[in-house]
Amino acid sequence: MSISENLASTKQRIRDAASQHRRDPSSVHLVAVSKTFGPEAVIEAADAGQVAFGENYLQEALEKQAGVASLRPDLVLEWHFIGPVQSNKTRPIAEHFAWVHTVDREKIARRLSEQRPSKLPPLNICLQVNVSGEVSKSGVAPNEVLPLAQAIHALPQIRLRGLMAIPEPVDHPERQREPFALLRQLQQHLTEAGIPTDTLSMGMSADMTAAIAEGATMVRIGSAIFGKRDYAK
């Protein structure tokens, strides 16, 4: 299957899941996760209409962005950083991405705001929440989401758009929904505390249907679009 065919069937899965749960399919945005794939794969997806791309590794992402720009200066893409953010790497992230999904500390948010170039619109950010307890190291604990959001939501050069999670993989679709439901409830708490947001970044190739059932507004899909990743390359 080609990237454009995979993209079409992924979009169909999104539409099916949305209508099954009485949601407007246009409320679920697709971020194509292109990590480990080269600029040509990004261009192929872009030519099939994809605009938003997600990357986990900063160096790889910067090289890929430069590669795409030199091959195809006509393309205007939206880059999402979805990997762990090290505090000494915030400047290039603030300069080269439109979104960061993985903010889990006040210090990172402050640096991103300070380092976001003033000629660019504010950086869109999501707080990454650890919804799986001890099995995950990344993400803020659920009971720390509100204090963190309160500390950072007024920073000038970032916009707090919502919450993101990467739950521990489970096979059963009903069990997959539990951590996504928790993320939705945490977003509701923020709204009630006067910090409304519009984004729930949740769902990957294996659990996107469960995430959409629980209100995902952004799904991050890699292997279903680009194929199996080969980290050895």
Eight-class DSSP state of 128 = E
| Both structure tokens of 190 | 């923020």
35, 153, 161, 177: which one binds ligand PLP (CB under 6 A) = 35
The answer to the question of residue 220 lying near ligand PLP (CB under 6 A) is yes
With a CB cutoff of 8 Å and minimum separation 6, the contacts of 205 are 221, 222, 223, 224
Q: Closer to ligand PLP at the Cβ: 35 or 116?
A: 35
With a CB cutoff of 8 Å and minimum separation 6, the contacts of 18 are 24, 25, 27, 28, 212
The answer to the question of residue 115 lying near ligand PLP (CB under 6 A) is no
106, 138, 223, 227: which one binds ligand PLP (CB under 6 A) = 223
The answer to the question of residue 33 lying near ligand PLP (CB under 6 A) is yes
94, 140, 145, 221: which one binds ligand PLP (CB under 6 A) = 221
4, 56, 138, 157: which one binds ligand PLP (CB under 6 A) = 56
The answer to the question of residue 205 lying near ligand PLP (CB under 6 A) is yes
Q: Closest-CB residue for ligand PLP?
A: 222
Q: Closer to ligand PLP at the Cβ: 155 or 200?
A: 200
| Stretch 132-191 residues interacting with ligand PLP (CB under 6 A) | 166
Q: By rule CB under 6 A, what string of x and - marks binding of each residue 57-96 to ligand PLP?
A: -------------------------x--------------
**DSSP state letters, 15-51:** HHHHHHTT--GGGSEEEEE-TTS-HHHHHHHHHTT--
Residue 187, sorted as left (phi over 0), alpha (psi -120 to 50) or beta, turns out to be: alpha
- How far is residue 164 from each of residues 14, 22, 144, 153, 219, measured CA to CA in Å? 18, 22, 14, 16, 10
Residues that bind ligand PLP (CB under 6 A): 33, 35, 56, 82, 166, 204-206, 220-224
